[in-house]
């Protein structure tokens, strides 16, 4: 992520631990919305648990259950997915986008639901933003801009400012 936007990473790392946690929760929530997973009950329950800092429901309660999470995606019929079309033009240089361009957002979002739980709030924030960025693929810059705007609000709120 530092190659893509070093100042963004540093901004997260200079935030308070509480704000870093909020960044992780915000990023995973945006990824779930982008991928179409936010409407799934099993995902909503996990997002609520993250927001409340309470115990995560299965399959997000233990990283060893990650296969179960991916299996649930595979069995969903008619899953609503952000249908962004990813086109690579001949000669296009994508070296500036480390997050990929042809990702299936639902599958790229699942790791964010695990990384957001990390006890190290800074690790949670950075890894979750990275996973969410992979879900966004070529639209990762939009996610980062949203998080930057929210970071400013989170910081003001934490200091009791309107």
Q: How far apart are CA 18 and CA 97, in angstroms?
A: 29
Write down the pLDDT at residue 79: 47
**Is residue 44 one of the residues assigned to a domain?**
yes
Domain count, the chain: 1
Q: Is the pLDDT of residue 22 over 80?
A: yes
Evaluate the omega torsion of the peptide bond into residue 75 and state whether it is cis, within 30 degrees of 0. no
79 within a domain of the structure (yes/no): no
| pLDDT for residue 116 is more than 60 | yes
Whether the pLDDT of residue 92 is over 50: the answer is: no
Mean pLDDT for the stretch of residues 3-18? 89
- Asked if the structure places residue 90 within a domain, the reply is no
15 inside domain: yes
- Does the pLDDT of residue 62 top 80, yes or no? yes
Judge whether 17 lies within some domain.
yes
Containing structural domain, residue 44:
6-74+103-159
- Is residue 84 in a domain? no
Question: Exposed (0-12), middle (13-18) or buried (19+): which is 81, by Cβ within 10 Å?
Answer: middle
Task: Look at residue 89 and tell me whether its pLDDT is greater than 60.
Answer: no
- 12-16, 44-48, 67-71, 91-95, range with the lowest pLDDT: 91-95
């Amino acid at each position: 992520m530092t190659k893509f936007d070093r100042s963004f990473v540093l901004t997260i790392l200079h935030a308070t631990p509480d704000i870093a946690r909020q960044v992780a929760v915000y990023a995973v929530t945006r990824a779930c919305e982008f991928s179409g997973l936010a409407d799934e009950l099993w995902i909503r329950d996990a997002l609520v648990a993250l927001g409340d800092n309470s115990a995560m429901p299965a399959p997000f309660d233990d990283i060893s259950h990650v296969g179960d999470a991916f299996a649930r995606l595979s069995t969903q019929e008619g899953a609503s997915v952000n249908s962004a079309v990813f086109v690579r033009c001949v000669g296009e240089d994508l070296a500036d986008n480390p997050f990929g361009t042809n990702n299936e957002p639902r599958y790229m979002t699942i790791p964010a639901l695990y990384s957001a739980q990390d006890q190290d709030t800074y690790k949670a924030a950075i890894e979750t933003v990275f996973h969410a960025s992979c879900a966004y693929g070529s639209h990762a810059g939009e996610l980062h801009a949203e998080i930057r705007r929210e970071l400013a609000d989170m910081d003001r709120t934490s200091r009791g400012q309107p």
